[in-house]
Amino acid sequence: LTTASAKLACLQVDDLSSEMNMPGIGGLEATRKIPRIRPDVRIIVLTIHSENPFPTKVMQAGAAGYLTKGAAPDEMIHAIRLVHSGQRYISPEIAQQMALSQFASADENPFKSLSERELQIMMMITKGQKVTDISEQLNLSPKTVNSYRYRLFSKLGINGDVE
């Protein structure tokens, strides 16, 4: 994000598209930090993650739009125009999932109980990244990453990486 921050400070940008699975700090943390650098820039997240809690967490972090990579080009253009005009956009399917998830219990959606950092580490683990790689990318000690890993496994009822 440091290199991106420097470029973002110099460029004339109105809207920015981001991905949840960005290398380094990840899309969620970037979505939170970019408005601190450039409050005028509106962020649209384009990702493969359609299931909650990802959309909710990203919108709470400051994104103005949320689309999946399967969105039609017309929908993307519509979203960009709305966000550029100062409005927010969430694709209808995701908006419906977000609304329905408000009625789901924690038993039905165990991911709701995870912190943002636990979600970030979980996504990195599911991509096959090792604790040492995760700790380097997030500037955390391996011991801290293992603590997060243990907590998220406990919350999700998982016994190991393979599960």
Convert the pLDDT of each residue in 132-148 to its tens digit.
Answer: 998 998 899 999 999 98
- Determine what percent of the chain is predicted with pLDDT higher than 90: 9
- Please, what is the average pLDDT of the chain? 77
Over residues 116-122, the mean pLDDT reads 84
Given a cut of 70, whether residue 103 has pLDDT beyond it is no
Question: How much is the pLDDT for 161?
Answer: 61
Could you read off the pLDDT of 6-16 as tens digits, one per residue?
Answer: 554 444 444 44
- Hey, what CATH class is 114-156 in? mainly alpha
Model-level pTM greater than 0.95? no
Over residues 111-116, the mean pLDDT reads 78
Question: How much is the pLDDT for 74?
Answer: 92
| CA distances, 134 to each of 7, 23, 29, 89, 108 (Å) | 25, 10, 14, 32, 28
Domain ranges for the chain, please list them. 2-101, 114-156
Reported confidence tier of residue 48, pLDDT bands at 50, 70, 90: confident
CA torsion sign for 114, 133, 44, 63 is: positive
Question: How much is the pLDDT for 119?
Answer: 83
Amino acid at 52: N
What architecture is domain 2-101? 3-Layer(aba) Sandwich (3.40)
